[in-house]
């Protein structure tokens, strides 16, 4: 390495620089300005180098013991993560590294320009790779129209940490995803890529894409910080109560139909339940279903314990109304607690912008179906009492809840959880089964292609 160029320059706006130091500084600034449009967070990077006198920082630390060659090796292995190494500009990094290694000029300014190009190639590749491993290469909030899950994205601190790395290999190893599902998907991807058949069949192509997409989903930082949370996999029609990364309760669920009734991906906090809930029927359901049923059967409303209101006032004789001839928007409908209530005997409440909640159902046969995307958007749970026990725990409050659900005279009652529990509604089309193998599910909402297409674009 060229010790003359890599000797540290004065920091933080030195009062005077020698002519040579000014020339070296100007060379670095010139290269930085020329390449700024290709860099992530260019203004922040410029600020960092400005505070250090516009001189190479990472090359100083990592060149002598061949850590930069090792970095290019890690980038080449990005294929093991379902990513194209060129997303991290690996070819450009190798070229600039080779240029510096074989530099024969004695012109210090020219040498400085070469070092600056290598420095920025390292910064560019390392930041992009680091962010990809820790956050994914896409932002789900920009991909999905139904996504309200708190998800961390790279920020200025992510960039600053890059310049604080001491040992590059230790750092690169530390950011590799290590979850069980992720590692299992990596093994599947390796087997698929090892198939050298020129004309791979469409099934394998789709499978590989599904693996790549779900690895990306697993890189998103959207899981709660708490050790215990409720996890719903919409595409698997399943719910798990997770505690210390292990499922302590598993059950089937029903989710929203494809289209405008699909269950959104979201994250929130379950704060309370309503025992023997009252169902305030959404206007869309009232207009498209309830009024039609009432039109066909004049006793449908009373038989299903549904009260009718007009401008907030009870309607005493809804059977007398010709529901096929009136404007349903003037009415509201409320199903009272009881065995026919569509929400069953309990619903689990959490704040969200889509009026989504978890709830019981009086129709138990639906859980025998394989395809359970059948609801209006909310999530019907197979074992509501077990879920309540997992959230409340053993004690008088749970016993009170159970007695309320079992009562022959159901009355609606709210109960707050002893401790609020996070809930996440995810969408994974590949997951681990009970034996630790990978299972592939149906892409019920057609979301895999959206993620895959976005992954092909340059990010950051």
Residues labelled as active-site residues: 359, 378
Given a contact cutoff of 8 angstroms between Cβ atoms, the answer to whether 144 and 450 are in contact is yes
Given a contact cutoff of 8 angstroms between Cβ atoms, the answer to whether 102 and 118 are in contact is no
Helices (H) and strands (E) in the chain, counts: 18, 16
355, HSE (Cβ side, Cα atoms, 13 Å): 8
Question: SS3 of 209, please?
Answer: helix
SS (H, E, C) 379-441: EEECCHHHHHHHHHCCCHHHHHHHHHHHCCCCCCEEEEEEEEEEEEEECCCEEECCCCCEEEC
Given a contact cutoff of 8 angstroms between Cβ atoms, the answer to whether 418 and 397 are in contact is yes
Given a contact cutoff of 8 angstroms between Cβ atoms, the answer to whether 432 and 184 are in contact is yes
Given a contact cutoff of 8 angstroms between Cβ atoms, the answer to whether 75 and 90 are in contact is yes
Rounded to whole angstroms, how far apart are CA atoms 176 and 49?
A: 27
Given a contact cutoff of 8 angstroms between Cβ atoms, the answer to whether 377 and 264 are in contact is yes
Q: How many residues does the chain have?
A: 460
């Amino acid at each position: 390495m060229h010790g003359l160029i890599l000797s540290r320059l004065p920091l933080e706006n030195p009062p005077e620089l020698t002519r040579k130091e000014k020339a070296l500084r100007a060379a670095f600034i010139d290269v930085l300005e020329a390449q700024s449009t290709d860099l992530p967070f260019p203004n922040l990077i410029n600020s960092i180098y400005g505070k250090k006198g516009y001189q190479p920082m990472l090359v100083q630390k990592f060149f002598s013991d061949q850590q930069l060659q090792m970095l290019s090796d890690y980038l080449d292995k990005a294929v093991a993560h379902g990513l194209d190494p060129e997303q991290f500009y690996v070819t450009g990094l190798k070229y600039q590294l080779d240029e510096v290694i074989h530099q024969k000029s004695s012109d210090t300014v020219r040498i400085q320009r070469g070092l600056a190009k290598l420095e920025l190639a390292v910064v560019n590749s390392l930041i992009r790779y680091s962010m990809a491993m820790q956050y994914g290469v896409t932002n789900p909030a920009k991909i999905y129209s139904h996504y309200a899950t708190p998800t961390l994205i790279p920020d200025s601190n992510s960039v600053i940490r890059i310049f604080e790395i001491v040992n590059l290999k230790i750092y690169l190893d530390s950011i590799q995803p290590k979850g069980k599902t992720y590692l299992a998907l990596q093994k599947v991807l390796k087997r698929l890529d090892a198939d050298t058949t020129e004309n791979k069949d469409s099934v394998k192509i789709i499978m590989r894409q599904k693996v790549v997409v779900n690895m990306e989903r697993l890189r998103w930082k959207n899981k709660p910080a708490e050790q215990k949370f409720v996890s719903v996999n919409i595409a698997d029609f399943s719910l798990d109560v997770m505690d210390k990364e292990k499922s302590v309760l598993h059950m089937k669920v029903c989710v929203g139909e494809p289209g405008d009734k699909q269950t959104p991906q979201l994250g929130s906090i379950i704060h309370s339940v309503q025992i023997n809930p009252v169902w305030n029927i959404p206007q869309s359901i009232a207009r498209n279903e309830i009024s039609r049923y009432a039109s066909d059967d004049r006793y449908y409303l009373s038989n299903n314990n549904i009260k009718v209101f007009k401008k907030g006032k009870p309607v005493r004789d809804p059977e007398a109304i010709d529901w096929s001839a009136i404007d349903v928007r003037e009415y509201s409908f409320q199903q009272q607690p009881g065995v026919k209530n569509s929400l069953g005997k309990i619903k689990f409440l959490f704040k969200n912008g889509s009026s989504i909640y978890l709830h019981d159902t009086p129709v138990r046969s639906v859980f025998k179906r394989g395809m359970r995307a059948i609801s209006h958007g909310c999530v019907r749970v197979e074992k509501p009492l077990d879920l309540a026990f997992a959230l409340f725990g053993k004690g008088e409050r749970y016993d009170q809840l159970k007695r309320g659900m079992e009562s022959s005279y159901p009355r609606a009652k709210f109960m707050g959880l002893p401790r609020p529990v996070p809930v996440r509604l995810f969408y994974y089309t590949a997951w681990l089964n009970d034996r630790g193998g990978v299972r592939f599910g149906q892409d019920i909402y057609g979301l895999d292609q959206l993620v895959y297409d976005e992954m092909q674009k340059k990010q950051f």
